[in-house]
Amino acid sequence: MRFSNLFGKTHEPREFRRLYSPERLREAMQRERARSDRWGQPLSLLSFGVADEAGSRGTLLEVARLLRRRMRTTDEAGWLDRRHIGVLMPNTPGWGAWTLADEICLKFPEAVPLPQCSVYCYPSDWFVSGRGRLGRLGAEPAEHGATAALEPFFFQPLPVWKRTLDLLGAGLFVLVHSPLYLLLVVLIKLTSRGPVLFRQTRVGLGGRHFTMYKFRTMVENAEALKEQLAARNEQEGPVFKIRNDPRITFVGRFLRKLSLDEFPQMFNVLKGDMSLVGPRPPLPKEVVEYEQWQLGRLYVTPGLTCIWQVSGRSKLSFTQWMRLDLRYIAVRSPWVDAKLLAETLPAIVSGRGAC
């Protein structure tokens, strides 16, 4: 990043020429997160910030100068934004990052104001409170400062193009299919006891919980009967799926075959809890069982359909499902979304992998 872009000057000090741009630093963060997922090693981000970018020029210059002397060869430094320099530290727990922060601040000249320091660690207990992820990395020494979760740096809010497509697509779908919505409500109400809608807590972007809507396809006490059927689960991993589930009603089996039970989720799309295309939102108890690398699917807004839905659905293993979701996150674009939406209808009509 050019010094003129930060402070409106025409000269770029040598110390700043060694720093990554915000885009390059975030690319490095994504790369090191993948390496952390693969090898189970901790990853820390040390941030040096100032309250006033114009009045604290000397502080950032001193940080950049000292980092050149104190950083390891495996560390990477760059701009987080206009007022913060970040140091990415692979294979380093929080206390290790705080050690570098102390070393930098102790070397500061008395005439230069000290920076504001923060440390972010990955993996943390961001998604599952009390799971003890930080405990695997070792306790933080009392003399060092507290750490925050690094996970939010990886979250990807809905792009403008994607939110626009969601609003137009879901709004038009509900308008055109409103007679079918009414017909399904009547069928469900007349053929089985219980509410028309099935409401369930799911996990969305960044681990946030929301209520997902579906047309009810099971008997009223389906959740209570699930424990009795646990031994018949045919899906690996923390999900439950069996063919010919006895809890499914006659109408419900028809709805599931054609995915008509998913129609109410268009209102989740309109609310912004979900998108037309994206990984399916998991249950909180499923997330508890996720491996570290699988949590990456929570970095984007969940959706109605994704690569899994058009590639075999429940016929695929849980690991294959997770990898397909992560592949979508890596390549998502307007063209990829349009292609998946076009492929979803034939997959639904054929009933491939449905149960």
What distance in Å separates the CA atoms of residue 122 and residue 161, rounded to the nearest whole number? 30
Based on the fold, state whether residues 205 and 119 are members of the same structural domain. no
Whether residue 241 has pLDDT greater than 50? yes
Please, which contacts does 220-229 make with residues 24 or more away whose CB atoms are closer than 8 Å?
A: 220/192, 220/193, 220/194, 222/247
pLDDT in tens, 52-101: 766 678 899 999 999 988 999 999 999 999 899 999 999 999 999 999 99
More confident site: 142 or 70: 70
| pLDDT score, position 225 | 63
| pLDDT score, position 227 | 65
| pLDDT score, position 219 | 81
Whether residue 194 has pLDDT greater than 60? yes
Query: Is residue 189 a part of any domain in this protein?
Result: yes
Q: What pLDDT band is residue 267 in, cutting at 50, 70 and 90?
A: very high
Q: What pLDDT band is residue 1 in, cutting at 50, 70 and 90?
A: very low
Based on the fold, state whether residues 173 and 98 are members of the same structural domain. no
Based on the fold, state whether residues 149 and 171 are members of the same structural domain. no
pLDDT in tens, 54-67: 667 889 999 999 99
* Spatial contact of 316 and 280, defined as CB atoms under 8 Å apart: no
More confident site: 336 or 314: 336
Whether residue 41 has pLDDT greater than 70? yes
| pLDDT score, position 142 | 45
Based on the fold, state whether residues 119 and 171 are members of the same structural domain. no
> Which domain range does residue 115 map to?
3-154
Q: How many structural domains does the chain have? A: 2
Query: Is residue 64 a part of any domain in this protein?
Result: yes
- Report for 251-255, 261-265, 307-311: range of highest mean pLDDT: 261-265
Query: Is residue 32 a part of any domain in this protein?
Result: yes
Percent of the chain topping pLDDT 70: 81
Average of per-residue pLDDT values in the chain: 85
| pLDDT score, position 248 | 84
What distance in Å separates the CA atoms of residue 15 and residue 51, rounded to the nearest whole number? 20
Of the residues 99, 130, 154, which one is the last residue of a structural domain?
A: 154
Query: Is residue 355 a part of any domain in this protein?
Result: no
Based on the fold, state whether residues 105 and 205 are members of the same structural domain. no
Based on the fold, state whether residues 280 and 308 are members of the same structural domain. yes
Query: Is residue 201 a part of any domain in this protein?
Result: yes
Of the residues 135, 154, 173, which one is the last residue of a structural domain?
A: 154
Q: What pLDDT band is residue 347 in, cutting at 50, 70 and 90?
A: low
Whether residue 140 has pLDDT greater than 50? no
Q: What are the structure tokens assigned to 231, written together?
A: 């031994």
Of the residues 122, 154, 186, which one is the last residue of a structural domain?
A: 154
What distance in Å separates the CA atoms of residue 127 and residue 151, rounded to the nearest whole number? 9
| pLDDT score, position 144 | 61
Using the structure block, give the residue that is written with the tokens 């000269």.
Answer: 11
Based on the fold, state whether residues 60 and 175 are members of the same structural domain. no
